[in-house]
Structure 1
Amino acid sequence: MKTQDSVAPEFRYLRPMKRPESVTFPVYKKLEDILAQATEHPDSVVAHALATCAGYSYSDAPTLAMIMARLGLETNHCRQISQVVDAMFISSHAFLVQSKDGRVVILCYRGTQPLNFINWLTDADVNPEKVPIPFADPPVAFGIHGGFYRNVRATRHEVIHALERALDGRSVRAKGKAMPYPLEALYLTGHSLGAAMAATMAVMLRTEPAYTPIARMLRAVYTYGQPMIGDPALAKACDGDDFLRHNLIRYVYGSDVVPQLPPTVSGAFAHFGQERHCGPGATVGEVDRPTQQLGNLTGLVVAPLAFVTHQLRLFRNLPFQQSLYDHSPQHYVTALTPAGVSSEYGDPG
């Protein structure tokens, strides 16, 4: 198990070069207050902040700490917890971003890295594992995507220990100092594989009695480009939980193919929670019918083709029902940036 700690520097070191059109950081004044006080979800500021967090989790703890400081979590404590076991198809990376006053923690899972072959094997390892989940007593076994489940399980205990530290008013860092306040608001997020891991952890927190003190602090789960994590029976049970039905929000950009996976040839899978569509050119809003499974393998061939054709001006506007290009995390960040709000690099909104 590897960990990496980082404390974001004072944001005076993060100011952009002074230009007439420059925007002074942070993007959001007192983002920790916004996160701690948000009571209705989805929230546009929270959606933007967590999409940015999910996008930069493909980097490392110092980079993520810097970006979240620019957004408004100044002098945050950021900890990376990782376990990589190639032969077991495990490449699990969890980031905990804690506000400087200790009240807010974001648990963000890294998604599928484009050049990481083990990540792709994890995504492809769809054979469901029967896992007893205590929605009722006695627990009932549900089918969960094997690769997603094993990757959450790999770092779960260290993540839980860090959250317990936050509950006790301490830093999430392994040997961190006492914080001004204990944890009040916990958010889970991730993109792609990271989105699936965040959703899986949310189910664990909501159903495991030992995690109840942490679950009480869970405010919402925001995922981006999330594939399905379990069978229809699990999805139905999750939608029977008030929190998971209303406060797990899945964003789907354009024709992103990943929310349609795994395909039906891999077995029956289904989504749960709220689904929201965004960009390109679409109004962010809830949909009546959640994304369904990909019915055949043709879409898996078409999806990469959509990425290639988008690079060619003559074919850029061809309509695709499945697109790998639309899965890129930067699309989610751009689509969910509120009007008039600057980017994490200070570009005017």
Structure 2
Amino acid sequence: MTTDGRHPHPGPPVVGRPADAVPPGATPMPAWEERLREQLEIGGLWTRDTRGPSYARLRPYGPRTTPGFPVHPDLEERLLRAPRHPDPVIAHVLATCAAYAYAGAETVSMIMARMGLEENHCRMIGTSVDAMFVRSTAFLVQSASGRVAILCYRGTPPTDGIAWMTDADVQPERMPYRFGDPRSTVHAGFYRNVRATRYEVLAALKRACRGRSVRALLPDEPDVARMAELEALYVTGHSLGGAMAAMMAVMLRHERKFRDEDDVAGRLRAVYTYGQPMIGDPRFARACEADPFLAREVIRYIYDNDVVPHLPPRTAGPYRHFGREYRYEVPHLRHGVLGLSRHLGHAYDVRRGALREHTRFAGQAATFLGGLGLAALAFAGSRVRPLGALPVVYSFEDHGPQHYIAAVTPPGVQNEFGD
């Protein structure tokens, strides 16, 4: 363990080798992946482990549980037994997890305990390679019994230039195995980021499938008792994290090794993403739509005029969404008039809207500059109160994870803290 509580990972072995050393019939490793693995061997992956607090620790005074706390009582059973997706409680839980993934392991485990997973096991896995535009951070949250796990990817922090470069690294990349049309391609930056931490993530999931904790023992902690085997896995993320979640779902479904041993893919229940950009070209999207799981159980949420689901733009090449799309839409024309009443002393929520499923998916913005420029203007307008309710084409403001939590909060739930 390092001095800051992190566990250094030794990293994968150096894989550079002559082309003639590649086994017959195998796909040669792309040059970028060889460089990435060499960088990871030098810097290594790192992990941070924690245990979620008990309700008694979260509430040192008064009753440990009350109506509204935890936010979702019997959450583990809900995650295990949900008959269909999207489920309103699960959508709220995963939106909250994705939003707080911009913090650290302690914060994620705390908020998930408040949501209903008391004393959860949490492992944070991260790596960073600036020269390769890699910023990959994953969280695994495992219920105390071991029966449920949530894999959550961190999105693009607003002040992290390398993460923004990852989003902009739109060079098409082919997956090294057959998936639909052999000419189909995916977003190179998203694909690279998932692969940077994938094997450590899957090593933790393998332990969960065998009745063990996803994390290591904490200092002065006795051996963790054997847990139940993993039954239900959910994958989620906001922004870049949503793209990584969707990409991981495709890998789990279509790389045979994840089904042959432990059947991690068979434990995958659903994927919920929030403000997710597109991850592949139309051929790739059609291949995903041909998979019943990816077509029905990948649930994408879009908040009103969020610009990110419309990226990459058309100038970067053709991209298309897949899965199911739910948009939270604010009727701006009506609210634009009524919202002015706030300046006359009347209370009115100009952001109130409705969540609806759309079969015609969000399309691509014309250009990076056009889409982001319109979003920047909308952001500036949102800071001028009389203009905040006027209709816009794209918006940075609408990309905020707090809006996604608000959009999917079930009736009767006050907030994610349960207070």
TMscore range, shorter length: over 0.9
CA distance in structure 2 between the aligned counterparts of 1:133 and 1:334, rounded to whole angstroms: 39
Count of aligned pairs between the two proteins: 343
CA distance in structure 2 between the aligned counterparts of 1:215 and 1:337, rounded to whole angstroms: 29
The AA in structure 1 aligned to 2:416 is E
Aligned equivalent of 2:144: 100
Aligned equivalent of 2:126: 82
Offset, 1:68: 0.2
CA distance in structure 2 between the aligned counterparts of 1:305 and 1:267, rounded to whole angstroms: 25
Offset, 1:305: 1.6
Contact 1:133 1:142 in 2 (8 A): no
Aligned-pair identity in percent equals 55
- Alignment match of 1:203 (pick from 236, 241, 250): 250
Deviates more, 1:165-174 or 1:24-33: 24-33
Aligned equivalent of 1:174: 216
Aligned equivalent of 1:33: 77
Deviates more, 1:221-230 or 1:310-319: 310-319
Gaps of 5+ in 2: 1-44, 218-222, 331-351
Larger RCO, structure (CA 8 Å, separation 6 or more):
1
CA distance in structure 2 between the aligned counterparts of 1:130 and 1:222, rounded to whole angstroms: 24
Aligned equivalent of 1:307: 379
- Alignment match of 1:146 (pick from 188, 196, 214): 188
Aligned equivalent of 2:370: 298
- Asked whether 1:264 is paired with 2:308, we answer no
Aligned equivalent of 2:204: 162
The AA in structure 1 aligned to 2:274 is Y
Contact 1:232 1:270 in 2 (8 A): yes
Contact 2:326 2:356 in 1 (8 A): yes
Offset, 1:141: 4.8
CA distances 1:109-128 after superposition (whole Å, capped 9, x unpaired): 00000111100100011111
- Alignment match of 2:117 (pick from 69, 73, 92): 73
CA distance in structure 1 between the aligned counterparts of 2:210 and 2:161, rounded to whole angstroms: 39
CA distance change for structure 1 residues 234 and 178 in 2, over 3 Å: closer, same or farther? Answer: farther
CA distance change for structure 1 residues 166 and 310 in 2, over 3 Å: closer, same or farther? Answer: same
Contact 2:301 2:325 in 1 (8 A): yes
Contact 1:169 1:178 in 2 (8 A): no
Q: With structure 2 as the length reference, what TM-score do the two structures score?
A: 0.79
CA distance in structure 1 between the aligned counterparts of 2:204 and 2:357, rounded to whole angstroms: 34
CA distance in structure 1 between the aligned counterparts of 2:60 and 2:156, rounded to whole angstroms: 30
What's the secondary structure of 2:174's corresponding residue? strand
Offset, 1:178: 4.4
- Asked whether 1:62 is paired with 2:106, we answer yes
CA distance in structure 2 between the aligned counterparts of 1:167 and 1:219, rounded to whole angstroms: 14
- Asked whether 1:226 is paired with 2:302, we answer no
Gaps of 5+ in 1: none
Aligned equivalent of 1:53: 97
CA distance in structure 1 between the aligned counterparts of 2:60 and 2:247, rounded to whole angstroms: 38
The AA in structure 2 aligned to 1:242 is P
CA distance in structure 2 between the aligned counterparts of 1:16 and 1:230, rounded to whole angstroms: 49
Offset, 1:132: 3.0
Aligned equivalent of 2:324: 274
Offset, 1:17: 7.3
The AA in structure 2 aligned to 1:335 is A
The AA in structure 2 aligned to 1:67 is I
Contact 2:237 2:244 in 1 (8 A): yes
CA distances 1:242-277 after superposition (whole Å, capped 9, x unpaired): 000000000000000000000000000000000001
The AA in structure 2 aligned to 1:240 is A
The AA in structure 2 aligned to 1:262 is P
Contact 1:16 1:346 in 2 (8 A): no
Contact 1:15 1:25 in 2 (8 A): no
The AA in structure 1 aligned to 2:386 is L
Contact 2:52 2:113 in 1 (8 A): yes
Offset, 1:78: 0.5
Q: Whose Rg is larger? A: 2
Offset, 1:279: 4.6
CA distance change for structure 1 residues 207 and 69 in 2, over 3 Å: closer, same or farther? Answer: same
What's the secondary structure of 2:93's corresponding residue? helix
Offset, 1:226: 0.3
Offset, 1:140: 2.7
CA RMSD of aligned residues (A): 1.7
Aligned equivalent of 1:6: 50
The AA in structure 2 aligned to 1:223 is T
Aligned equivalent of 1:335: 407
CA distance in structure 1 between the aligned counterparts of 2:383 and 2:59, rounded to whole angstroms: 33
CA distance in structure 2 between the aligned counterparts of 1:11 and 1:163, rounded to whole angstroms: 26
- Asked whether 1:186 is paired with 2:233, we answer yes
Contact 2:324 2:359 in 1 (8 A): no
Aligned equivalent of 1:242: 292
